Amino acid sequence: MLQRGTTIRLALIIMTVALLAGAGASDARASGFALIEQGVRGLGNAFAGGAAVAEDATTIFFNPAGLTRLEGNNVEVALHAIQPSTEFTDSGSTLSPLVGGFPLTGGDGGDAGDLALVPNVYWAKKFNDKFFGGIGINVPFGLATDYDEDWKGRYHGVKSEVMTVNINPTIAYKFTDKFSGGLGISAQKLDGTFSNAIDYGTINAIVGAGLPLTPQGDDGFVEIEADDYGYGFNLGFLFEQSDETRYGLSYRSEIDYDLEGDATFYSPNAYTDVLAGLAGLVDGPATASITLPQHVSASIYHDLNEEWAIMGDATWTGWSCIEELRIQFASGADDAVTTLDWDDTWRLSMGFNYDPSEKWNHRFGFAYDESPIPNETLRTVRVPGNDRWWLALGTTYKINDAFSLTGGYAHLFISNAAIAKEGLVAEEVTRGAIYGEYDASVDILSVQLSWVF
């Protein structure tokens, strides 16, 4: 039994991190918009061997079966400072050729990446030699891009933000000395915010309303906010071949959302008020459906000797479940559609541990993280990602038998990403043709406090 004081401290930790998670947006440019930053020890290895390492309570996320390797109570509290840089360079963006193809006005949008603080907390407990349990609170998916409101791509997107908060209670059972299994339930909330400018002048030209409005001269604006709760599960298995070698396999399920919220429109003058009324571009409820992907990880961990260990991981993510973003309006306005047609992806990583003493542990790792975006015509200003390479390092200092402190850093090199929206398909005619290239990178600096008792 936990002492009353310990129970209160754990509850305060969990509530604090839950509040922080609910307050922050994130954009780590992981595959698609998945956030793998779920622990700092793992960050130092570029999250290589995640399903097999099982060295602290963050295994609740990476492989719940790994709980069977932990003794007593384990608490992990981490904070990740994620600084993405996303800069666009235009190369000839225009209005749709169907409405004249004149050059788009405005700048390149500035740096669309913002600093994000992403917390997570985990608590794990050994109940007896067979049963183990725990709970994690984390942010498994996050996205944030924010451009200048007058940039060239403003009709495609200005602000895009997606954030999830996940509560993940977990149990594990040790079937034999070598084989364990674990199961967790995910209760997850998703919040989404999307905004963009509206070219009422181009709409006027297309529908032939005859109002004195000019393309790019009478811009409105729309912001959509919506949220929903979703539920899923994760499970995993751990096989300990020997004291030196172990293998892990883990799975996280898809989670479906039916988002409900509100659309708020801004109309700059009386003429656009008339056109907005005709087109249904007025304030009211808005809905969207989205499925967040499943993923499978296979990992290995091996102690080379008393000082060195090596680990590796292969993770498949089913991003092909995301075919489009479709927002529907109760006002009767046409659906706002962005075609995505994403592909499934692989993430491959390798890492090393070096233990020079009982007090210190150092980590190194690298990873290749594949983008789900198929090509430049399906790349969007809201998620302009591309393939990336991780380089990571970290260190843990054992303060005493109860507490240790871990720091980690990673830099993500992202391949330059071209975008070529031709403005010819129906969803792009009023948004214009976007041509250019993105130069992006990410820096991650993280710290974690571990408490064992």
pLDDT at 31: 58
pLDDT at 6: 46
pLDDT at 354: 97
Domains, the chain, ranges and CATH? 4-452 (2.40.160.60)
Give the mean pLDDT of 34-58: 95
pLDDT category at 425 given cuts 50, 70, 90 is very high
pLDDT at 159: 96
295-303 and 116-126 as β-strands: parallel, antiparallel, unpaired?
A: unpaired
- Cross-strand bridge partners of residue 131: 173
pLDDT category at 208 given cuts 50, 70, 90 is confident
Share of the chain above pLDDT 90, in %: 89
Task: Retrieve residue 93's tokens.
Answer: 């963006």
Give the mean pLDDT of 228-252: 97
Contact predicate 48/137, CB 8 Å: no
How far apart, in whole angstroms, are the C-alpha atoms of residue 147 and residue 382? 10
CA angle at 250 for the pair 245 and 252, rounded to the nearest 5°: 165
Give the mean pLDDT of 329-338: 94
Closest of 44, 48, 187, 61 to residue 124, by C-alpha: 61
For 47-73, how does the pLDDT look when each residue is reduced to its tens digit (9 = 90+)?
Answer: 999 999 999 999 999 999 999 999 999
H helices within 248-326, ranges in order? 270-279
Kindly report the average pLDDT of the chain as a whole number. 92
How far apart, in whole angstroms, are the C-alpha atoms of residue 427 and residue 434? 13
**Is residue 305 scored above 50 in pLDDT?**
yes
DSSP letter (8 states) at residue 33? T
**Is residue 184 scored above 90 in pLDDT?**
yes
How far apart, in whole angstroms, are the C-alpha atoms of residue 247 and residue 122? 22
For 107-164, how does the pLDDT look when each residue is reduced to its tens digit (9 = 90+)?
Answer: 999 999 988 899 999 999 999 999 999 999 999 999 899 999 999 999 999 999 999 9
The torsion angles phi and psi of 76, rounded to 5 degrees, stand at -125, 125
pTM above 0.75, yes or no: yes
pLDDT at 125: 97
pLDDT at 209: 85
The torsion angles phi and psi of 290, rounded to 5 degrees, stand at -150, 145
pLDDT at 4: 46
CA end-to-end span of the chain, whole Å? Answer: 12
pLDDT category at 18 given cuts 50, 70, 90 is very low
Share of the chain above pLDDT 70, in %: 93
pLDDT category at 21 given cuts 50, 70, 90 is very low
Closest of 300, 252, 322, 291 to residue 36, by C-alpha: 252
